[in-house]
Every structure is written in structure tokens, then in C-alpha cells.
Amino acid sequence: MQVINDLLARLPFATIEQHDKEYTVIVPKEKLRETAILLRGLRVKPAMTGIEPLAPAVTDTEARVPATDTEAFATATSGFEFDYLTDIVGMDYGEELGVIYFLSPSRYPSYGLILKTSTADREKPEIDSIFDLWCAAALYEREVYDFFGIVFTGNPDMRRLFLRQDWNGYPLRKDYDANPALNPVPTNNEALADMENLPTTSIDINGERLKEHTKLFETEDYVVNFGPQHPATHGVLHLRVSLDGETIKKVDPNFGYIHRGIEKMSEAYTYPQILHLTDRLDYLSGTINCHATCLCVEKGLELEVPERAHYIRTIIDELTRIASHLLGWGCMAMDMGSITAFVYGMRDREKIMDIFEETCGGRLMANYSVIGGVMQDIHPNFQKRVKDFIPYMRKMLKEYHLLFTGNPIARGRMDGIGYLSKEHAISLGATGPTGRASGWSNDVRKIEPYAAYRHADFKEMLRTDGLTFDRYIIRLDEVEESLKILEQLIDNIPGGAYAAKTKAIIKLPEGEFRQRVEAARGEFDVYINSRGDKYPYRVKFRSPCMTLVNTLAHIAPGTKVADLIMLGGSLDYVVPCIDR
Amino acid sequence: MKYEDFKENEYLESYVKELRENGVNIAVAKLDDLINWGRSNSVWPLTFATSCCGIEFMSLGAARYDFARFGWEVTRNSPRQADVVFCCGTIVHKMAPVLKRLYDQMAEPKYVMAFGSCAIGGGPFKKSYHTVMGVDKIIPVDVYIPGCPPRPDAMIYGMMQLARKIKMQEFFSLPKQPMVDDRHCGLDPQTPEKEPGVVTEGIAGQARNDDSKKGGDDASN
């Protein structure tokens, strides 16, 4: 696109490559912040993220570009701002440590930009922070720091994200010492002082690295611990909430209580072995995660997958989505105290579990997709069962609406609470039903149709209000759309093989491969960096749920503490997906 | 009076016989059996789930599998009110002290069920740097239920093993929980019979350990 080329022409120091709609931009680390500001859009005030901007870097850019020129340029590029930061991936290239930023303009979501930078200093790696440009960046940077030890100068919160603050070493570095004696199983709870002191790094005039600590909460704040063991956190999430009376002042999420190190383990596993770990990330959209990983490996192998396998995978994905939304609906209702709704949701979910059990052999962990197709052909009853399920589910959806949607108590707790604006949803990277409830069109099934979605006619559900009720109702609407997709595909499954033949040992050619799919909670990405071996060099999974918890921390302040449960229920995050 | 004499129940039996002959319906049983009957059919689990197995635990609570049939449906959110921890899911380094604290907060008698292969021994995350290789590294486990995740049916089977175990305990000796070995439950029947009153503390403790091992084996088969 011409505008993007114009934009990139402003970066003389960058190495730029273009593949179709994907641009790769490599910049030296000193120029990273400048590039990021240009890509984010010059009109954006960093204060939009609610955090004070970094003064020096911003004036730097403004000094370089004359004011009038900036204005004209900002008008010309309006709408092409890369306002959606999909993910930040840390890399250990062996000699150097690097960071990869995946960006996309929210209005033209099929375009993508990969921004790369690296540092040769392995002892004290430092890269400028971009936390004030995208709301999502602060947590992603903490994740990279946790795994690689790269300090983002300027980020006011450089705590570890998943591991305890007293953990030794950075586990995703290639030279990490995995000796269990270095990090024994702890016997004491993490010290609160560790959780509350935010180490910040900034560089003073002489180039000296200053390390300071700021306090997370004020001394007189009333802080409530919510989790890690609490049924309404939907997993083992630890929220520290400071209150003013009943009103929430600040929410600080703590992750890592189910961090299993899947990304590091994947580096020692072959590709078919990794597939079994992907189901256990977001277990409610397990088959979709598995599908994404297969697609990514197939992309690298340039493997032609039989059309039959595409259809079967798509149908299984949609069934998973329905099951996940049913559980999300039931749990949200249960959080409000309506146990009946939970029992209804689980009852209908069991019907999908039956279909899975017959065809895949497993209930929750189907592990059905394999590289090249699916594990075995569908059961003879499969089509009949799905066709029976569609009218049944339609009838039940009506019942759900009668039972719960119109209930005055439920409406009283959902209406007008938890507003998330479209701009914030994009900046936070809150994809999936959450973003769509705020009016952000982000359905990957529409943007980059994969598998058999191009053969199905379905609508992308969009709402505009961005309230708790919208996030609730959009899930039920999506169930209806999924039923439509099932209806169109189930009778048209083509014949032929259900899987392509692959070699016994699968070696991916050298390069980087990425696949985006729409999981039940939002965009799930798989990034594989291969060096031509049968093991990947680096695997990164983009968790749609991490941004959702970040969203919670952004929209909760100002609401009542009882609404925190409802907000969490409406965002419907799964914690093992965050922690990986 | 010697201790052995307390075990002499002949006079009770003669009373019972006399009452029955005169048309009174009377049954004699141990109070322990009555209490354990009640306890084993009303076990309150703690809602504790870290990952995937938690969803199967929810299925267990919902309509189809419905553990209310066994009297287990009163899930407690506070460890102080719970009898059993269903340890559903992987336990990692950061979670380990939290789980230990939850267990310590529970009132005696308390039980632990290791749910799924992660809780048993690390499961698919055996090679991870951050996984605890089994809950039994932190807290004692009564029943192991294998599977990834275990089906709700397997969970019901595991729960029934725990109910069996509770029925064999002597309530009035709690919290030491020595074995009642009059039915050889959990003990090798080949071992020479011991006089009932002379079971020492040490042997009773040993018997309990054997029993927990046995229960584990039962469930894993």
C-alpha cells in the first residue's frame, strides 16, 4: 500500500522487506522508540494510555519533523496508524538478544508489520520502552523481561510477570541453567514487598543506569487480595485491588500461578509432540490452538492439506467455540448467583463433548488435528449428531434468553457497567468478543480466512456500546453464527483423504512462520522460528487472555468491588492461557 | 480395672439377647460406623482448580454426572469449611506455598485427591523448569486419579475410593487417624493376627500408611 510505503520512507536507518501484505522493518535499538512513535501515529498523545509520556523521546521526534510537516503527514496517514500491537516476542539469537513487535492497522487488519530490534549486550541488555504508546505493551514488556532479562528503560514497572521475583536466571535464554538446585520449590509465600516495589530503570545524563523503586500502592490504601484461590477468578489469578470505600482505585494482576513453561519445553520437542501441549494452553479452545499450530507448521512445510481435513477441522473448531461460549455464559451467570444457568450451559455442552468423544476419542483434550490433517476420519454418526445438535441448540438459545437475558436482576448488574471504548480495546489488544462488543471488527476468520471459513457465509457480530451486557450478549449471538457455519459445512464435507502424508521426521525449513486464528476468546497466534531442525528454535503463542486481564485492570477502576466479578465474567479469560 | 476388660462386651450381648426375647427391636453397632457412614456420604470439597482438570470437575458438578448423588456437592470456597482438596491441575513453583497454606488452613480430618497426571507426577509438563513433580511432594495424598484430564466417571470412582477409606477410620481417635483393623481392610490378611487391644501406636501408624498406599493403587488401576 502506498501510504505504508510513504510511512516507511521516513525511516532511512531501517532495513525493510515486504512480502505481500507483510512488512518487516529492522531498526537499531537507539531508533526503536522513534520508529514506534511514527508507526503509532503522530497524532496520538501518549497520555491516552493513562500514563505520563516520556518527555525526551517525544520532543526528539518533534524536533526532527517540522511542525507543519508533521500535521500534514499525520493527516495523510490518518487511518493507517499501526494502532494494534498484537504481540511482543523476545528472542535469543545466540549472540544477540532481540525483541520483535507485531503491529497491524486496525482499519486495514490484513496488513501487518513486524518491527525488529536487537542488542548485543547480554550482561545488561536494555531497550527503550514503548509502554506509553500501546496500552498492551507494558505487560508484554514485563513478559520479555521475565524470560530474557531485557530491561525496558522507561517502563515504570519492571517486575517479573510470571516467575517469582526471587527466581534465578532467565529461563528462555539459550544459556539458562536449568539445575533444579538453583530454583528449588519454594516453601514460603512470596513477600508482599517484592510484589509492591516496582523497579524502574532510567538513564541519567551521564549514561548511568539508575534503578529506583516506586510503590504500587499508597501507604494508606486499603488493599484486598482477590485470589489466587478464588472460584470467581476463573483460574489461579491473583488480583490485588485497592479500594476507596467500595469503589475500586487500582487493580494489579499477578500471574504465574500456573506458569508451566510450555514455550521453553516446546524448544526441546518435535513438532508433533508440541501439538499435545497446545491443547493445554486455553483448554476451552484446545482444538483451535492445536489447529493453529498445525496450520503454522503446514505453512512452513508448504504442505497441501486435503479439503476434507479443512472442513472437519473447521467444524470441530466451531463446536469448540460453542462449547466454550456455553461454559463462559454459565460461569458468568454463576458468578452472579444463578446456578440454574450454569447447569443448563453445562448440560448442553455435554452434547458437544459426546460428539467429540465419538470422533476424536477425548472429551476435553481432543488432540484431533495433526500435521497434514486430522488424526482419524470422522465417526459414521458424526454428521447426524451435529445435525441433531443444531436445532436443539437453537431451541435452547431461546430458553437461555427467556431464563436469563431478560432477568431484571441480571440486567441490573450488567447494564451500564464496565465501559470499554473502541480506541482502548484496540490499544489494549482486547480481541475476540470483547473487542467486537466495543465495535472493533477483528475477526480473524474474516480478515484472513483459513481452513474452510471461506466457504461459509456468516456475519461478524459487532456491537457498539462496549458494556458488560454487550460482552454477554455477543457470545450468545456468536453461538448462533457458529450454528450457521456448521449448518453450511456439515453436509458438504468433501470426500478423499482425511490427512496428507507426511515424513516420519518433520523438519521445518529455516525461517519464521506465523499463523493467526480466531480462538473462542480472541486472536490466537503461533510464531515459530525454525533453524531447519526437527525442533523449533523458538515458539511463541499469543495469549488472547492476557490482554483481557489487562483490560480488566483498565476498566475496573471507578466501579464497585462487586462489579469486579461481573467484569471478569464478561471478559471470560482462562488463566492457563495467560501463564502458558 | 485392666484395659483388656473394657473390650469385654459379654454383658452387652446378654442385655441385647434379653431385650430381643421380650420383643424389643434393638441393633448394636459401633458409633464409629454410624459417624463414618455420615461422614463418607457428606464430604465437602474445596473448589480448588488450577487448570484443565477443573473443567472436568465442573462437568462433574453439573447435570449429567451430578456428584450430588454421592453427597459431595457442597463445594466450599473457604478451606476452613472443606473436608477434601480436589487438586485439579498442575502445581507450579509459585503455587506450591499457596497450596500448602490452603491445606494447613483446613480442619482435621482432611483429605487430598490428586486429580490428573499433572497432580500425580508432573504429567506432560515433566520437563518444565517451573512444575512441581506431583502434589505429594508438598502435601500427603489419599487418592490418585490418573488421566489427562480424568473423565468425570473416573473422578466418581476415585471419590468412592475416598469414601471407602473414610469408612475405615476411627472417628474418636482423630486426628491421629489410626486404622481399625478388625476387617483386615488395607492390611495384608496373611500377617499373624494380633490381639485387638495391644495394637501399639507405631503399628497403627504404619497400618495407616499402608492403607493410603493401597487406596492409591486401587484408584490408579
Q: What is d(CA B159, CA B151) in angstroms, rounded to the nearest whole number?
A: 13
What are the phi and psi torsion angles at A522 (to 5°)? 145, -165
C-beta separation of A98 from A125 below 8 A: no
Residues 364-423 of A with CB under 8 A from B: 364-365
Q: Which residue of B has its CA nearest to A180?
A: B129
Among the listed ranges A165-169, A245-249, B70-74, B180-184, which one has the minimum average pLDDT value? B180-184
Selecting from A257, A264, A365 the residue whose C-beta is nearest the C-beta of B94 gives A257
* Of B59, B77, B90, Cβ closest to residue A346: B59
Assess B127–A contact: CB distance below 8 Å, yes or no. Answer: yes
Q: Which of B96, B124, B130 sits opposite A280 (nearest CB)?
A: B124
Cα distance between residue B13 and residue B183, in whole Å: 20
Tell me what pLDDT residue A392 has. 93
Indicate the DSSP class of residue B76.
B
Q: Across the interface, which of B64, B98, B130 has its CB nearest the CB of A260?
A: B130
Residue B47 with chain A: CB contacts under 8 Å = 231
**B-interface mutation test, from A160, A238, A259, A572, most B Cβ less than 10 A away:** A259
A308, A496 Cβ separation under 8 angstroms: yes
- A509, HSE (Cβ side, Cα atoms, 13 Å): 6
Q: Name every chain A residue with its beta carbon within 8 A of the beta carbon of B103.
A: none
User: Which of A 237-256 lie inside 8 A of B, CB atoms?
Assistant: 256
CA B54 to chain centre: 20
**Which positions in chain A touch B131 (Cβ < 8 Å)?**
260-261
The answer to whether the CB atoms of A364 and B55 lie below 8 A apart is: yes
Q: Is residue A145 classed as helix, strand or coil in its secondary structure?
A: helix
Does B132 sit within 8 Å of A365, measured CB to CB? no
> How is residue A310 written as a grid cell?
479443512
C-alpha closest to that of A357 among A330, A328, A323, A307 = A323
Kindly compute the dihedral angle of the four CA atoms of residues A252, A253, A257, A261, in this order, to the nearest 10 degrees.
-120
Q: Chain B residues with CB inside 8 Å of A188's CB?
A: 97
Q: Does A265 touch chain B (CB under 8 A)?
A: yes
C-alpha grid cell, residue A103: 503491529
Tell me the shortest Cα–Cα distance from A47 to chain B, in angstroms. 34
The residue type of A540 is K
With an 8 Å Cβ cutoff, are A364 and B52 in contact? yes
* Short-list A358, A316, A350, A314, CA closest to A330: A350
Confirm or reject contact between A531 and chain B (CB < 8 A): no
Euclidean distance between CA atoms A477 and A480, whole angstroms? 5
User: A268 and B130 in contact by Cβ < 8 A?
Assistant: no
CB A413 within 8 A of CB A563: yes
CA–CA separation, A111 and B197 (whole Å): 82
DSSP summary character for residue B199: -
What is residue A318's predicted lDDT score, i.e. its pLDDT? Answer: 92
Which residues from chain A sit within 8 angstroms of residue B64, using beta carbons? 346-347, 350
Give the dihedral sign, CA A160/A163/A167/A170: negative
State how far residue A375 is from chain B, nearest Cα, in angstroms.
18
Long-range CB contact pairs, A207-215, < 8 A, 24+ = A209/A124, A209/A126, A209/A153, A214/A156
CA B112 to chain centre: 8
Residue B6: pLDDT band (50, 70, 90) is low
Provide the grid cell at A346: 453445562
Query: Rounded to 5 degrees, what are φ and ψ at A315?
Result: -65, -45
Looking at residue B106, what is its pLDDT?
87
Residue of chain A whose Cα is closest to the Cα of B139: A187
At residue A325, the pLDDT reads 92
For A214, the grid coordinates are 516506586
Cβ B123 vs Cβ B90: under 8 Å: yes
Look at B64 and A347 and tell me if their CB atoms are within 8 Å: yes
Q: Which of A162, A174, A257 to mutate to test the interface with B (most CBs of B within 10 A)?
A: A257
Which residues from chain A sit within 8 angstroms of residue B100, using beta carbons?
187
Residues of A in contact with B56 (CB under 8 A): 363-364
Over the stretch A390-439, which tens digit does the pLDDT of each residue have?
999 999 999 888 888 888 888 888 888 888 888 888 888 888 899 999 88
What is each CA distance from B70 to A287, A321, B18, B67, B114, in whole angstroms?
33, 32, 38, 5, 19
Which backbone phi and psi does A363 adopt, to 5 degrees?
-85, -65
* Residues of chain B neighbouring A264 (CB-CB closer than 8 A): 128-129
Which pLDDT does position A415 carry in this prediction? 86
Cis upstream peptide for A306 (omega within 30°): no
Cβ atoms of A345 and A327 closer than 8 Å: yes
Q: Kindly state whether B56 is in contact with chain A, defined as any CB-CB distance less than 8 angstroms.
A: yes
Say if the Cβ atoms of B56 and A363 lie within 8 Å. Answer: yes
Task: Closest CB to A236: pick one of B50, B97, B101.
Answer: B50
* pTM (whole model) above 0.90: no
Q: Which residues contact B48 (CB under 8 A, 6 or more apart)?
A: A229, B85, B86, B87, B88, B99, B102
CB-based contact B50 A235, cutoff 8 Å: yes
pLDDT for res B208: 43
Q: Divide the 580 residues of chain A into consecutive groups of 10 and give the mean pLDDT of each group.
A: 72 79 85 81 51 38 47 62 87 88 86 87 84 85 89 83 86 85 81 73 61 75 83 81 88 89 89 88 88 90 88 91 91 86 90 90 86 88 90 91 86 86 86 89 87 86 87 90 90 86 85 89 90 89 89 88 87 87
CB contact under 8 A, B97 and A187: yes
Neighbours of A480 (CB within 10 A): 15
* Alpha carbon distance A231, A36 (integer Å): 40
Q: Which amino acid is at A580?
A: R
CA-nearest of A486, A468, A427 to A560 is A468
A305: closest CA among A451, A455, A500? A500
Please give the residue of chain A at the shortest CA–CA distance from B75: A231
Residues from chain A contacting residue B150 (CB–CB below 8 Å): none
Amino acid at A402: L
Q: Cβ(A487)–Cβ(A337) under 8 Å?
A: no
Tell me if chain B has a CB within 8 Å of the CB of A170: no
Beta carbons of B96 and A235 less than 8 Å apart: no
Q: What is the dihedral of CA A272, A276, A281, A284, to 10 degrees?
A: 120
Residue-by-residue DSSP string for A386-450 = HHHHHHHHHHHHHHHIIIIIT-HHHHHHHTT-S---HHHHHHHT--HHHHHHTT----HHHHS--
Rg, chain B, Cα only: 20
Is the CB of A186 inside 8 Å of chain B's CB atoms? yes
- Cβ distance A259 to B130 less than 8 Å, yes or no, reads yes
Of B52, B55, B96, the CB nearest to A185: B96
CB A311 within 8 A of CB A373: no
* Contacts (Cβ under 8 Å, ≥6 apart) of B119: B53, B87, B88, B89, B90, B91, B134, B135
Is omega for the bond preceding A272 within 30 degrees of 0, making it cis?
no
Residues pairing with A152 in the sheet: A127
Cis check: omega of the bond before A231, within 30 degrees of 0: no
Q: Could you tell me if A570 and A252 are in contact, meaning their C-beta atoms sit under 8 angstroms apart?
A: no
Q: Which residue of B has its CA nearest to A166?
A: B94
Q: What is the pLDDT of residue A322?
A: 92
- Strand segments (E) across A138-258: 151-153, 197-203, 209-215, 222-226, 238-244, 247-254
Q: Using an 8 Å CB-CB cutoff, list chain A residues near B58.
A: 327, 346
Residue in chain A closest to B48 (alpha carbons) equals: A229
Cβ pairs A/B, distance under 8 A:
125
Do A350 and B90 lie within an 8 Å CB cutoff?
no
Nearest CA in chain A to B99: A229
- How many residues are present in chain A? 580
Contact A518, A478 (CB under 8 A): no
| Contact present, A447 and A484 (Cβ < 8 Å) | no
Does A552 touch chain B if contact means CB atoms closer than 8 Å?
Answer: no
Interface membership of A179 toward B (CB under 8 Å): no
User: Are the Cβ atoms of B132 and A185 closer than 8 angstroms?
Assistant: yes
CB A158, CB A217: distance < 8 Å: no
